[in-house]
Amino acid sequence: MIRTAAASIALALIAVPAAAALQVGAKAPDFSTQVSLAGKPMPFALAKALKKGPVVLYFYPAAFTKGCTIEAHDFAEATDDFAKMGATVIGMSADPIDKLNQFSVSECRNKFAVGSATPETIQAYDVVLPVKPNISNRTSYVIAPDGKVIFAYSAMDPAGHVTGTMDAVKQWRASHPMKGD
C-alpha cells in the first residue's frame, strides 16, 4: 500500500508540468537564507552574491531524491565552468539545513551551496509544486547582476537545467566581458 502511494505520488510529480512564473526581464525577488557549503551552514544573501556576478538559482523538490540527486551531480560537474565566468550556483529546496549539510557534501560534492527555501521565497519565485504546496517544483533561473532574470526554465526532469543555465551565462558573459578578457 505504501509503495503504491509512493509510486502514485512519483507519477503525479512527473506528470505535473512546472512553469517558471518569473519571466525573462522580471526583477528577481531578493532573499536571504541559510545555505550549506561542504557541510557547513552559513548565511546567503542574493543581493550580495549578485555583486560578484550572475547567479544560477535552481529550485528542486527534495534532497536525496532521484531527480534532485542527478541534478545536484550535474551542477557539481559544471560549477567550475560557471565560476570561470563569474557565476555563483545556488540550489534551493524546502529541506532543513541539517539535511542540506549532508546533501551538500555527498551529492553537491562540496562544489556549490544549497539553501533552505522558505515558503515566502518559494511563493515569491512562484515555484510551488501543486501536488505538494510546501515544496518547490524544479525551476532554474539565471539572474544578472542588475537583479533581472535572464533565463528561466521549468521541468520536473533534471535534464536541460544545467545546459540551459550554462548557455545563458555564456551569452550574458559574451556581452559583459570580465576584466582581462
Phi, psi of 127 (to 5 degrees): -115, 30
Could you tell me the three cell numbers for 45?
Answer: 544573501
Sequence-ordered list of residues with C-beta below 8 angstroms from that of 148, at least 6 positions apart, any chain = 25, 26, 27, 28
Collapsed DSSP state (helix, strand, coil) of residue 129: strand
Catalytic residues: 68
Sequence-ordered list of residues with C-beta below 8 angstroms from that of 101, at least 6 positions apart, any chain = 36, 39, 40, 41
Tell me how far apart the alpha carbons of residues 128 and 94 are, in angstroms, rounded to a whole number: 10
